[in-house]
Each structure stands twice: as C-alpha cells, then as structure tokens.
Structure 1
Amino acid sequence: MNRSKLIWGMMTLVGIISLVAFSFKPKKNKSHAMGRPNIVFIMSDDHAYQAISAYSNKLTTTPNIDRIANDGMLFSNACVTNSICAPSRAVILTGKHSHINGKVDNVFPFDTNNVTFPQILQANGYQTAMFGKLHFGNNPKGFDEFKILPDQGSYYNPDFITKKEGNKKITGYVTDIITEMTLNWLGKERDTEKPFFLAYLHKAPHREWLPAERHYKEFVKKNFPEPSNLFDNYENRGTAAKTAEMNILTHMNWAGDSKITPENMDKMGLKEAHPYDKRFYNMTVGRMNAEQRSEWDKVYNPINEDFMKQYPKMSKEELMRWRYQRYMQDYLGCIASVDEGVGKVLDFLKANNLEENTIVVYTSDQGFYLGEHGWFDKRFIYDESFKTPLLIKWPAVIKAGTKNTQMVQNLDFAQTFLDAAGIKAPSDMQGESLVPIFKGQGQKFRDAAYYHYYEYPGQHTVKRHYGIVTEKYKLVHFYYDVDEWELYDRMNDKNEMKNVYNDPKYAKIKEMLHKKLVALRLKYKDSEAIDKKYLTKYLELEKQGKIWK
C-alpha cells in the first residue's frame, strides 16, 4: 500500500470513529451544556415569611425578593431543624442535624473539624466568597474571600473581620455595606473563568432593629394590621407556651427594642425588661456618628415625647398595641433595605449575562414571630418560628412561577448545591437534594420533617422539645422539666391554637405520628442518650456562668 492510500485510509477510519463517537455522544441538558451553575445564597437573619409579599402582602411589600419567586419556585413548607441562629447556620453549612454537627445552641462552640459544603465546592474548582453575617467563627473554611461581621454585628458603622485586610470599621449602614461588598466582588474580584459560590448574608432584620435613615423616616408613619391572636391567652396549649418569655408587652426591651431612651425610661419609672435593656440601646444607637444621630433624634425624640404624654393613661391593651406598632415599624423598616440590596444583586446578574445559569436562593436562618401569640423571637416548633422563607430561581432548570408545599429543610441546602454542581455529597450528610424538585421530579421527597430545640434553661425560657411535622400534622414532645405532648392539625388549625393530642378523633393519627417520630429519631441518629449528653454539658456551662439569660 502506497503512502497516499495509507493516509487516506487512516483519515477515513478517523472519520468513521468520529462519526460513531458523535452519534453516541450523550445529550446534555441545558444547564450542563452551560457548565456548572453559579450559586448565590442570600440569607437574612430572623426574616419571617409573613414579611415577604410573595407569601402575603398584609404587612409589607418586597418587590425584589418576590422577583425570585416570580422567576423560580416558592416553597410554602420550608422549615428548619432547630430554630435558633448559630445552630441553623451550622446545619446549613454541614448538611447535618445539630446533634451530629455539635452546634446544638448558641452556647456550644462550632466544631471546626466539620467539613462544610463551601470547602467541597472550593476543592472542586468553585471560587467562593462570603460577605455579611456568619455569627460564629472568625475564619470560615472554604472561602477564597470573606468579610464578615463579628458575632451579631452592628447596624450602624459596623466592624468587619476580613480575610485579607484585617479588622476594619466601615462608616455607613450595614445592609448597604454588605451589598456594596457583594457587588464589588461580583464586578471586580471574581474569576470569570470559574463557577462561583457567593454567600450574601444580612444582619437585618435581627434584633435590636435599627432601619436605615431613608426607611425609618418612612416606616414610623405607618400603621400595621395586628395578627388575630396578638392577645393569645394560651388556652388549650401546654406549659411551654404559657411560660415562654417572649411577649411583646412584658418581655420586649423598652430602650433596646421600643427605642424609649434610657433617660426617658427613668423619668417614667419604666423598669428594664432585661438587665441589658438600656445597655443594648447605648450599644446600638450609640454607634451612630454625630450626623447619623442628629437625623435619628429628629424622628425618634418626638415618638418618645408623644409616648410620655400617653403612657399614664394607657391600658395594658393599648400598651401592647403601641409596642406592636413600634416593633413592626423598625422590623419592617430593616427589611426594606434588604429588599433593595437583593434587587441590586439580581440586576447585576441580569446585566452581566449570569442570570440563566445561576442558582439564586433567598432564605432566612429561621422564622420569626411578628406578634402571633403575642410573641417576638423564634425557638418553637410552631409555624411562625419553624417555617422559613425559601425562594429559589434557576432559569436553566426551574420553571418560573412554580410553588411547592413539600417538607424541605435547611438541612437540604448542602446536598442541593453539591448535586447541582455535579459533586457527590459525603455519605454522612443527612439532607436531601432539592434538584429533583426543581425539575418537577420530587414525588418521592420526604413526607415528614424532624425538629429538635435544645436551649433551655436559657433566654426566653422556651422548653426543650423535639417533634415531627408533615404537611397535615405536627406532633411535639416537650421534655426536661416537663413531659408533655402536643398535636396540631395544620390544615384545620392554621394558627395552632388547640392541642388535640388527647382528642379521641385523632387517636389513629397520633399513633401513626408516634411511629414515624421513632423512625425519624433512628434515621437521624438522635436519642434520649444524646439528649442527656448535651443537657449535662449545658448544665455544666450554666454552673460556670456561661449561659446568657
């Protein structure tokens, strides 16, 4: 065979092989064809789902956060495993329940031996960044860049711990600063050759609520509708609801929360609701510079003066209503700046052709009471605390405007992000990937969620409890210094006002839920022995004076 024939034969063979290879090349779905998705994880602190207009516009409007639901999926039964800040964040990062990752409450330290999903993403080629509130640990693992608030952080002129610039104080309003950091990284520091994971984490609307100037001037003029059970007397419920210390009238701070100045408290003879009441005011409002404080006083001094005139004649009912309005004005005012920041980030993604293959998540570290049952704060398995907002868009995969009622949890974020990135999750993660739900294939997703709260005795005195929640029912066991069970019909008692545990009509349902609860405790490796272990450690810390009450 001469050389020309040999070359021609080889070319023909290569062509045939190429044609065969092309013919059997697996088809890629749209997202895979575009490469691994970017992930923008937006989390606020204590943002109640009731304060997002995609869920309800009764209290306020959040047009930019709503854009995520309009372009993606709204989850109406998203929930947490443990409704308290730092433990919730630990669950999100590790994909493991609190009793497994070790961060059961705000007192116990986070075990840095835990492997977090950002570490895994980073090791698999993702560029990673975090800006805002982490709440625990000053050196988060798995991030190429971070600028985080120490502990709770401050609303005005906040301090930041940074990876590359040391500690720094920045003049301005915290929500705006975090947004500017995020946009700067997206626009100037991001490696455009890599997929990225960006954690955009807000302090707002965490207590003590200080809105931006542009918003408090607007929101103090507003009047908000009251929840139907603002004056709940906790009939038909157990000891836990009756003894919790989170009532707006009796347990909210006058200075730190309602913004009655310490000087005016003394003039009126108002006693501190908490030993740190006045101190909180001085720590928060006291961070303002002269210009900021001048504008603040122009608005809040008249509120103080008006209240001082009204107070001697006010009934307890009138006081409760006044304090509820003050609470909502500042709380919802804080959310307004969060919504503006979310809009700016969404606009950047769209303007820079990043929208189609970027997963955008908006959530909170847990729910929050906005006067329901007369309460503020969280901690309970009851809905306003247990449920968390969750809105997710991923145009390449999620159909716009879809809604989901399944029992998804913050436990699921780690495995979801790893699955979306094509990375196998560690076998000890306990969540479930939401990617099948995104694709409309989540029929076999979990039918019940497990919950466990540990921080008692402690602030707000919410008793220790664990339970199981399905779309229809909720079974709860309060333990430690009580032994009480509660059962709620979530379809027919949406405000959870009546415990039907001893109602004969629910006997079969109760039996079924007890069996499911036992199975979930086994599945997630929780037990009475583990409860006792953490309780013993907690009581030791209490003796050492390390429990903040």
Structure 2
Amino acid sequence: MGFNGAKVVKTPNLDELANDGMVFNNAFIASPACAPNRAALLTGLMPARNGAEENHTYPKPGVAVLTKQLQKNGYKVYAFGKVAHGKMNNECGWDYYHKQPINLEKNVKAFFAETKVDGPICVMIGDRRPHVAWTTENIYDPEKVDLPAYFIDTKETREHRARYYSDVTGFDKTMGENLKFLETILGENTITLMTSDHGGQWPFGKWNLYDDGTRTPLVVKWKGKIPTGKRTQAMVSWIDILPTLLDLIDSKTPDLLDGKSFAKVLTGETNAFRNEIYTTHSGDGVFNVYPIRSIRTERFKYIKNLLPDCYHTNHSDLLRKDGAGAYWDSWDKAAQTDKIAAGIIKKYYQRPAEEFYDLDTDPDEQNNLINDPRFQKEIKKMKEMLAEWMFMQGDKETVFRTPYPLAEPKPDKVLIEELKK
C-alpha cells in the first residue's frame, strides 16, 4: 500500500485515509486463514478458545459474538460482502446482510437509498480483493512490479504479482467510493477502520506465521478524536479491534476476552500496548496440514512447527490455478538449474521444528538463529512463554487432518483430488 511505502502499487484512497487517521505499523491477525481469524475478530477470543481453529470451522455453540454487544448499545449493524465466514453470518444477527462480495458500491448505495439512518449504526464492508483468483484486468506492467527477495523471479510470477497489485488498487477504488458516499450520510462523528484479515496468498504469506502472513494493515480515523497523520509502533491484534470499538462508544465489554481495548493508543495517551503477539495456525482441510504456533515481540519471533517431519503445502502449490498458484510450474522449472531457486522451494516445503528471528536485522525472516549461542537465553524465555500461553488457552495442538510425511513423495493435485473424494 502506498502509505506503507509501496513503490509500484497505487492506493490513493488508502493514502488519504492514512493521512486523516492513525496508522498501526504493528497490527497482527490471530490466525492466517479466513474463518479462524474472522471468528477471532468477531468474538475477541483466540482460535483455541472460541473453537474455530482449522479453516472453514466455526466457534463453539454458546460463544458470544461482539456484534450483538453493539446492538445491545442501540446500534444497528449492517454487513456487506465477506465479513463473517459462511454460516457464522447467522450467528452475528446482522440487522441487514448482503452477502455478495462484489458490486459493493452498488449494494451499499442501494441499501441506504431505501434505509433511513435514525440512530447509531455500524457498517461492515468486506471486499473479496485481493483474495484469489486475481483479476485478469491487469493495470500494471509485469516487468515493473517488485518482488520479495525470497521469491523466484519468473515471467509467470511477475504476471501474477501484477494481477495481485491490480486487485489491491481495485479494492482501493471501491473503498474510496464507499467512504465518500457514507460521509454524506453519516457525518463527521464516524469512526472509520480499515484492515485486512491476513497476508496475501503467496509462498511464506497466508497459512504461515511469518510477518508476511500475519502482519496486516490497520488505519483508524475519527475526526477530532484521533490525531491525524500519525503512526504508532504499538503492537495490536485482530482480537483487540471490537473491544476497542466497544470502548470508544462507552459500551460494556464481556469479561474474560483475549482481546482488549487499545483506545488509549488511538487518543494519543500511549504508544505502547501489547508486549507479545501470539499467533496460531491449525491447517486448511487437505490442502494445508501443517499446524504452527508463534510468539512475537517488538524485536524477536519464535516459531514452533508442530510437524517438522512433514511437508508444508497449501492451495497455491497443490492446485496451481490461473490467478492463484499457476506460477509454481515456473518455480519448479527454475529450480532444476538454479541452486538458489531450489533452496527457496526446499525452505517452503520443509521447516525445522523451531525457528527464531531477529526482526531488527532480518525483517524478512530468512536467517534462522535457533542455534545461535547469542540468543539462547531469549529463545528459552520465549519458548516457555509460548508453552504457558498455549496451556492457558487450552491449545491441544490438534492435527485435524492426515499430514504428508517427508519420507513419502511430495503431495500433488492428483493426491488431493483422491483425498477430497
């Protein structure tokens, strides 16, 4: 995104929002997959506690959804697009819900053309972009896109990256049109919050606990209440978002949540919040059977891979669909003659039991320092903290599907199709 220093992709509306509000440099999700992270957002509870651990699963019966707390405070809650996941939309008790994840400008305008706003409201809009499959209406030159250093630079990778960037800019345009329209209805006493539910579906992004999969954009605007053009280093999590909004409207927040309010960060009273960020991943059906846990501080990241003797895979490398993971064929071809490319692919499929990174010197998390004698004290401390947190969460380290052992051939699309039967 432009306000985060993007060199190629253009996001003028996001840049304007960032200039008018506060940008969080260290906002993180609870889990890098749609369903568990959205469940964490809506309940204020981490996956092991709310019950939605694996992707396409849902909170346990009886777990409170915080949108209902907004309604108890007199708010009507309107949702458009992908906000909750699947059948969880029924649990949210929306006052209105339009599930179409496209045509958001049209659907929002049509609803409010027939709806009188006569009290406080919360509007939640979930654009599907830049979820795969990425658009075929490409507005960027593949030769000019920038790639992370840990990508394999091929023609197909660049084409897909350009399509991804095109969807980011498409999201920006839709968001801008919706905000402009809503301003005419809602006025200045409106809190606007923009974020994303996990990193992009790229190798080492979605379904991983590296920052590329877990750190997310977060911008909050409230004219006259939140300082404009400010950035904060405060570490916050998606579980904190709804408790914060409830706090800002002077609402009671349910007890025993994992999430907590960062309202004092927004009002400029403090620039500190969480000392640690915990993140979990428990898999995605037969495509990704690779549970991971992590703890992150401002400087360090410790990752525990629960199945180091198995392959890490996901939809992208297994299905290789156009507009999603079709570039993987070009990666395999490059690896046949390029040792660096071969090393990247090996690192993707095979992970050690533990990883430890110094984010100050290695923000891309490429140099695993788990055996470095300089950091053994810190590693021991973070390892113990993660274990204690998992115990308190009731995390049973469940493996929900049958994993793919390294001793056997690497899984492919044919195997996946058989397993799906």
Do both share a fold (TM > 0.5)? yes
Contact 2:226 2:267 in 1 (8 A): yes
Kindly state the Cα deviation for residue 423 of structure 1 after the two structures are TM-superposed. Answer: 1.1
Q: What is the match of residue 135 of structure 2? A: 210
User: For the residues of structure 2 that align with 1:107 and 1:398, how far apart are their CA atoms?
Assistant: 36
Contact 2:200 2:213 in 1 (8 A): yes
Q: What is the match of residue 80 of structure 1? A: 29
The alignment partner of 2:362 has SS state of coil
Closer/same/farther in 2, CA of residues 147 and 93 from structure 1, 3 Å limit: same
User: For the residues of structure 2 that align with 1:376 and 1:190, how far apart are their CA atoms?
Assistant: 46
Q: What is the match of residue 189 of structure 2? A: 357
Kindly state the Cα deviation for residue 514 of structure 1 after the two structures are TM-superposed. Answer: 2.5
Q: What is the match of residue 147 of structure 1? A: 98
User: For the residues of structure 1 that align with 2:196 and 2:94, how far apart are their CA atoms?
Assistant: 21
Q: What is the match of residue 500 of structure 1? A: 369
- The letter for the 1-side match of 2:276 is A
199, 211, 217: which one aligns with 1:367 = 199
- The letter for the 2-side match of 1:136 is G
- The letter for the 2-side match of 1:366 is H
Q: What is the match of residue 100 of structure 1? A: 49
Q: What is the match of residue 166 of structure 2? A: 333
TM-score for the superposition, normalised by structure 1:
0.62
The alignment partner of 2:385 has SS state of helix
- What residue ranges of structure 2 are gaps of 5+ in the alignment? 310-351, 404-416
User: For the residues of structure 2 that align with 1:367 and 1:431, how far apart are their CA atoms?
Assistant: 21
Q: What is the match of residue 150 of structure 2? A: 229
The alignment partner of 2:139 has SS state of helix
Contact 1:459 1:548 in 2 (8 A): no
Query: In the TM superposition, what are the counterparts of 1:110-509 in structure 2 within 5 Å?
Result: 110-111=59-60, 113-133=62-82, 134-137=84-87, 139-149=90-100, 174=102, 177-191=103-117, 193-210=118-135, 216=137, 218-219=139-140, 223-231=144-152, 320-352=153-185, 354=187, 356-368=188-200, 375=203, 378-442=206-270, 445-455=273-283, 458-460=286-288, 463-480=290-307, 482=309, 484-509=353-378
User: For the residues of structure 1 that align with 2:91 and 2:161, how far apart are their CA atoms?
Assistant: 33
User: For the residues of structure 1 that align with 2:116 and 2:41, how far apart are their CA atoms?
Assistant: 24
Show CA shifts across 1:136-168 (max 9, x none): 11535221100114xxx6xxxxxxxxxxxxxxx
Q: What is the match of residue 309 of structure 1? A: none
Show CA shifts across 1:274-301 (max 9, x none): xxxxxxxxxxxxxxxxxxxxxxxxxxxx
Contact 2:30 2:237 in 1 (8 A): yes
Q: Which stretches of structure 1, 4 residues or more, deviate above 6 A after TM superposition?
A: none
Contact 1:110 1:136 in 2 (8 A): no
- What residue ranges of structure 1 are gaps of 5+ in the alignment? 1-51, 154-173, 232-319
Contact 2:191 2:221 in 1 (8 A): yes
The alignment partner of 2:90 has SS state of coil
User: For the residues of structure 2 that align with 1:88 and 1:395, how far apart are their CA atoms?
Assistant: 29
Bigger shift: residues 131-140 or 384-393: 131-140
Closer/same/farther in 2, CA of residues 210 and 140 from structure 1, 3 Å limit: farther
User: For the residues of structure 1 that align with 2:196 and 2:366, how far apart are their CA atoms?
Assistant: 25
**Larger helix proportion, structure 1 or 2?**
1
- The letter for the 2-side match of 1:197 is C
Show CA shifts across 1:519-544 (max 9, x none): 43355x234xx22xx43x5459xxxx
User: For the residues of structure 2 that align with 1:441 and 1:180, how far apart are their CA atoms?
Assistant: 39
Contact 2:140 2:166 in 1 (8 A): yes
Closer/same/farther in 2, CA of residues 518 and 114 from structure 1, 3 Å limit: same
Closer/same/farther in 2, CA of residues 548 and 78 from structure 1, 3 Å limit: farther
Kindly state the Cα deviation for residue 331 of structure 1 after the two structures are TM-superposed. Answer: 1.3
- The letter for the 2-side match of 1:474 is K
Kindly state the Cα deviation for residue 351 of structure 1 after the two structures are TM-superposed. Answer: 3.7
- The letter for the 2-side match of 1:485 is E
Contact 1:456 1:464 in 2 (8 A): no
- The letter for the 2-side match of 1:475 is Y
- The letter for the 2-side match of 1:446 is R
Asked which structure has the greater RCO (Cα within 8 Å, sep 6+), the reply is 1
Query: In the TM superposition, what are the counterparts of 1:522-537 in structure 2 within 5 Å?
Result: 522-523=391-392, 525-527=393-395, 530-531=396-397, 534-535=398-399
- The letter for the 2-side match of 1:337 is G
User: For the residues of structure 1 that align with 2:418 and 2:193, how far apart are their CA atoms?
Assistant: 35
The alignment partner of 2:124 has SS state of strand
Kindly state the Cα deviation for residue 495 of structure 1 after the two structures are TM-superposed. Answer: 1.2
User: For the residues of structure 1 that align with 2:39 and 2:60, how far apart are their CA atoms?
Assistant: 9
Q: What is the match of residue 348 of structure 2? A: none
User: For the residues of structure 2 that align with 1:433 and 1:468, how far apart are their CA atoms?
Assistant: 20
Q: What is the match of residue 19 of structure 2? A: 70
TM-score for the superposition, normalised by structure 2:
0.80
Kindly state the Cα deviation for residue 460 of structure 1 after the two structures are TM-superposed. Answer: 4.4
User: For the residues of structure 2 that align with 1:351 and 1:499, how far apart are their CA atoms?
Assistant: 51
The alignment partner of 1:459 has SS state of coil
User: For the residues of structure 1 that align with 2:375 and 2:218, how far apart are their CA atoms?
Assistant: 31
Q: What is the match of residue 268 of structure 1? A: none
- The letter for the 1-side match of 2:394 is D
- The letter for the 2-side match of 1:426 is P
Contact 1:220 1:330 in 2 (8 A): no
The alignment partner of 2:144 has SS state of coil
User: For the residues of structure 1 that align with 2:234 and 2:247, how far apart are their CA atoms?
Assistant: 19
Structure possessing the higher radius of gyration over alpha carbons: 1
User: For the residues of structure 2 that align with 1:377 and 1:476, how far apart are their CA atoms?
Assistant: 14
The alignment partner of 2:150 has SS state of coil
Show CA shifts across 1:412-443 (max 9, x none): 11211111121111113211112111012235
